[in-house]
Every structure is written in structure tokens, then in C-alpha cells.
Structure 1
Amino acid sequence: MAAPALVALAHGSRDPQSAATINALVAEVRALRPDLRIEAAFLDHSRPRFQAVIDKLVKAGHDEIVVVPLLLTEAFHARVDVPSVIAEATARHSGLRIHTSAILGLESVFLQVLDERLRASLKAARVRELDALVLAAAGSSDSLANQSVARLARIWGSHHKLPVVAAYASAAPPATGEAVRAFRAEGRRHIAVGMLFLAPGQLPDRAKELALEAGAVAVSDPMGAHPEVARTILARYAVGAVELVPV
């Protein structure tokens, strides 16, 4: 029996770099599991859209699919948008079984990815000293989602023995610029920002712009097509595939 297909479902962005980054990440996943049918799909803005990918997989004979939402927090997109498109797909295709895995979430291993990206930015900026960190994320009107980012920020700061604060690009304070200025008001001058985003886009671009305007010495790139992120996608898929096995 063929293994279920894997659909890596991202939100999408008007920035073409975002889709390119997600496609590169999915290519990393394919390299790890060349035996699987693996597709990228998007909820909005970018193509291919989710329903078009599902149609293609059904036409190719797949009747079991695991959808892995490429989301870092359990906010609106995870709670509303993803279940909505799944329900639409199953209603349109009789006999199709779709299991939605847990979101990527905020795995502690992602801090290693953040460190790697930040080291590259520090090297490019020729920065050798840090006295504070800011962890920048998308932000949400859901306070629990923001709290999960704040918890990860505390872990990150504890690891580096540096003060750290979480900042958000939308829906919640502080913005990255505010966070950097608050540290500077304390007398700190070597403040770096780690970008807790999967891919480029308007929100991370704005967060970076505000941080640099406020005096950050370096801002990392988003996590992007990193092997650890690809392995996490496959871990979510593996649990979802087991859920599809009849009991």
C-alpha cells in the first residue's frame, strides 16, 4: 500500500521570495524522503493554492493525504483557515482521507537554526559582542500564541546568558524597534534580533526595518530551508500517517 502523500501547507505572501523559500524547504524534505509524494501548497497569495494541489493528488490516485501546516503558533490560521480548507477538500472528493498534523510549532531545535542564521548576520556585520537579544515573531491577537513565543525567547536568552525580549510584527506589543530602544535605554548598545519566521515577507521585512532603525547591530534572516525544519515536517508527517492507519 502506498504511503500517504504529504502536503506542506504554508500561509503564503505577496513577496515572491516567500514562496521560493517554502519551495526550497519542501525540496529539503523531498531530499530526505524521496520515496514520498510531497507537495507545497499555500492558503493565500502564493501558488499553488491548496485546493489545486489536492485536486492534482486525487487525479494521480492518492486517497490518503497528511497535511502539515507550516505554522509556528496555534493562532487564527491554525484554528480557522486550515480546518476550513480541509473541510472543503474532503467535501469535494468522496472517499478522500486527509489528516491534519500538528503545526510545526516552536520546537527548541529551532533555536539552533536561529543561532546559525544570527551568527551569519553577525559575521556579515562584523559584530563580535552582544549584550541583549530580541526574538522577533509575527504576533497574534491570541495571547496564548504570543506567550509561547515569549517562553521560547526566555529559553534562548537563558542559553546565551543574555537578556532577551520577544517582539511582534503585528497585533501585539512590543514591535522590534520598541524592544531595541528599550534595551538601549538601559545602556545596552550591542543588540541583535533573531527572526522567528519561516520565510521572507512583509512582516519580517518590516520587523527588520524597525529593528535596524532603532539601532540593532544585526538582524538574522528567517529560518528558511534548513534541514532541521525539514526534519520537523517529516516528524509531523510520520505521526499523521500513523493516524490514517485503520485500527
Structure 2
Amino acid sequence: MKPPLLLVGQGSHDDAGSAEFGRFVHRLRCRLDRTAADVSGGYTSKARPRLSDSIASLVARGHHRMVALPLSLIEDMRADADLLSVMALEQKRHPTLSCDYGRPLGPDPRVLTLLAERLADAAAEVASLRLVPAAAGPFDDEPERIEIGETAVVLVGDGSTSPAANADVHRVSRLFWETHAHEYMTVETAFVSLTPPGVPGGIERCRRLGAKRVIVVPYLLFGGGVLDRVWAQAMAYAAGHPDLDVRCADVIGDCEGLADVVVDRYEEALGGVIC
């Protein structure tokens, strides 16, 4: 039997985000059950289930070796250090426990493909964040046709006090533009909090570059409070700029494509473990 997979969430006070994390853990549990591997998950802080409770449950079920995999899109040395610190404490509580570590998801090509799918969905929608038409005419007037070259993208990261983590989001923006969004006017980078530019700043830069439409793409795994803040900031900007078509894409979310990346990270971390 393979060691269990322990999915490590970054923590959130938001019930919606925790619920989607739970659904994703269940998806992985169903996937890996076919290969006789247990799956659990928890948060290092803030939200429930707590990582310590999930580890205690796995140990109680007879597991003493596991693979911990951070569900993170950013390779953050501080977050890695926090995880190692948490796991060191758990190993003191459970002396027989040993742990291998999987790589963060990062800008895996399949993650960028999922972002491109969310972008395409937002670009195809008829409705935008404008609550009233820009002109005084009726709502059923023929909308102005906006070409893809007149459309800009704002990739929005969570934001961090770590310059390296923020730089990683800028790197992802460039990768995304070159691999999936090169037909768009540009891909700008913005952050929800902690570091500039914010979402309004990212959209404003696109407007000044001449964009007629801006699509905000959250670089986030799951929905919840952070996504709500992204949309709220975008809607507030759109309300003050009725001539600009502002749209928001959805998060990557609980899906099979994301599960494929996690399963590969798990198998990679197992290395030479014999089933």
C-alpha cells in the first residue's frame, strides 16, 4: 500500500474556500483509492480541518509515512519553512512519523492551460461588469465588437510580504502571455493585497495602454473571500469607467485537470517507494 497523500492548504477564514478545498480532497481520495492510497488534507493555520487533526487521523489508521504536498501556486520559501516547522512539531507528537515532500504546483504547464480555459470562458461571455450600457441607448443595441488585440488581461495574485513570491507572480504573467495569451494586447500583474499594484491599478494600466476590454484572471486555486475581493475591486473600478468592458474570470477550482497535476506531484515525491 502506498503512503497516504496529505494535501496542505494555505489557510483561510472563509467557509466557501474551505468547502472547495474539502471537495478537492474528496476528488483526490476517489482517484487514489484505485491505487490503494489514502488521502487527507488540512490547513497549517486559520481554517479547518487543521493539519494536525488530519495527521492524527492518519496515524490512528496505521499510517506512519506520508507525502505532504502544499497546494500552492507560488514557490514561497517562507511558506516552505512554515510547513517544515509544522511537520517537525507533528513528528515530535508522533515519533514514528516520517514524511516526504512534494513540490508546490507552481506554474505547471497544465495549470497555465487551466488558466487559459478560465480566460476563454470569460472572454466568451456576453455580459460584463458594467451594470448599465455606456451610451444612453437601450440594452438590446448591438454591442461594440472588441477584437482580441484590443483586450488586455490582468493576472491577479494573492500578494505577499515576500518579494520573491511576488516576483514569481510576475514571472507567471509572462509565461502565461507567451504560452497562452500572446494574441491579447498584454498580460499585466496585480495583487489583491499587501503589495502594489492592486486590481484597480492593473486595470488602469491596461486602459492607458488603449485596451477596450480588460479580463481579470485570478491566479488562485479556490474561490472564497480572496476571490470576492478581486471581483469587488474590479467591479468598483468598472463602475467608474463605463466605457471600458471589465470582466472577471473564475478561479482554477476543483477539477480533474488540477487533480492530474497533484497526482503527478505525489508520484514524483514517492520516488523509489515500493507499493
Q: Give TM-score, length-normalised by structure 1.
A: 0.91
Q: Secondary structure at the match of 1:39?
A: strand
Deviates more, 1:138-147 or 1:66-75: 138-147
Gaps of 5+ in 1: none
Question: Counterparts of 1:1-247 in structure 2 under 5 Å?
Answer: 2-34=1-33, 35-75=36-76, 78-126=79-127, 129=146, 130=148, 131-158=151-178, 159-161=180-182, 162=184, 163-215=186-238, 217-242=246-271
- Structure 1 pair 36–146 and aligned structure 2 pair: CA distance change class (3 A): same
Contact 1:12 1:18 in 2 (8 A): no
Aligned length: 244
- Structure 1 pair 77–199 and aligned structure 2 pair: CA distance change class (3 A): farther
Q: Give TM-score, length-normalised by structure 2.
A: 0.82
Contact 1:43 1:50 in 2 (8 A): yes
CA distance in 2, matches of 1:153, 1:57: 38
Contact 1:29 1:231 in 2 (8 A): no
2:163 partner amino acid:
S
- Structure 1 pair 197–106 and aligned structure 2 pair: CA distance change class (3 A): same
Q: CA deviation at 1:62?
A: 0.3
Gaps of 5+ in 2: 129-144, 239-244
Q: CA deviation at 1:243?
A: 6.2
Residue by residue, what CA displacement relative to the aligned partner does 1:76-114 show, whole Å, maximum 9, x if unpaired? 652332111110111111121111221121212212111
1:235 partner amino acid:
D
Q: Secondary structure at the match of 2:109?
A: coil
- Structure 1 pair 211–200 and aligned structure 2 pair: CA distance change class (3 A): same
CA distance in 2, matches of 1:233, 1:200: 18
Percent identity between the two aligned chains: 27
Q: CA deviation at 1:223?
A: 0.7
Contact 2:153 2:217 in 1 (8 A): yes
Contact 2:65 2:98 in 1 (8 A): yes
Question: Over the residues paired in the alignment, what is the CA RMSD in angstroms?
Answer: 1.9
Q: Which of 1 and 2 has greater Rg?
A: 2
